[in-house]
């Protein structure tokens, strides 16, 4: 049972993974990060909070479920220049996957 708590469902392990990935992304540059973060606990998870802190332009409204129509495990995080905005949404079709893709749009402000 320890492999379950310490590995598969571990928010601590995902927090460490987030730390490792964030060290590879320059802090002073615009960036977009996305993927299946497996953040079962959503914004309560350390990994989610760390990415949200690094990517301040991430929309804060909750996404529709991305996994089996129940959980939001997939995310896009945004840090864009001041004259840009972002939008994101979950595609209605999973295209044969067990996850629905998250689509991000970059919008230049005028």
Neighbours of 75 (CB within 10 A): 23
* DSSP letter, residue 42: G
26, burial (CB in 10 Å: exposed 0-12, middle 13-18, buried 19+): exposed
- CB distance 74 to 62 below 8 Å: no
* DSSP letter, residue 71: B
Name the residue ranges covered by the structural domains of the chain: 2-108
For domain 2-108, give the fold: Deoxyribonuclease I; Chain A (3.60.10)
Rounded to whole angstroms, how far apart are CA atoms 88 and 59? 8
Count of alpha carbons within 13 angstroms of residue 49, beta-carbon side: 9
- CB distance 82 to 76 below 8 Å: no
List, for residues 30-54, the tens digit of each pLDDT value: 999 999 999 888 898 999 999 999 9
Rounded to whole angstroms, how far apart are CA atoms 20 and 29? 17
Predicted structure pTM score: 0.87
List, for residues 45-104, the tens digit of each pLDDT value: 999 999 999 999 999 998 999 999 899 999 999 999 999 999 999 999 999 999 999 999
Q: In the numeric block, which tokens belong to residue 5?
A: 């708590």
């Amino acid at each position: 049972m320890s492999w379950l708590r310490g590995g598969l469902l571990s928010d601590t392990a995902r927090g460490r993974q987030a730390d490792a990935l964030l060290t590879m992304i320059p802090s002073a540059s615009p960036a977009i990060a996305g993927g299946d973060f497996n953040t079962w606990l959503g914004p309560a998870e350390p990994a989610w909070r760390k990415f949200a802190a690094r990517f301040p332009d991430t929309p804060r409204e909750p996404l529709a479920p991305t996994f089996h129509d129940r959980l939001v495990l997939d995310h896009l995080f945004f840090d864009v220049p001041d004259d840009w905005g972002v939008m994101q949404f979950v595609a209605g079709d999973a295209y044969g996957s067990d996850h629905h893709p998250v689509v991000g749009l970059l919008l230049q402000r005028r």
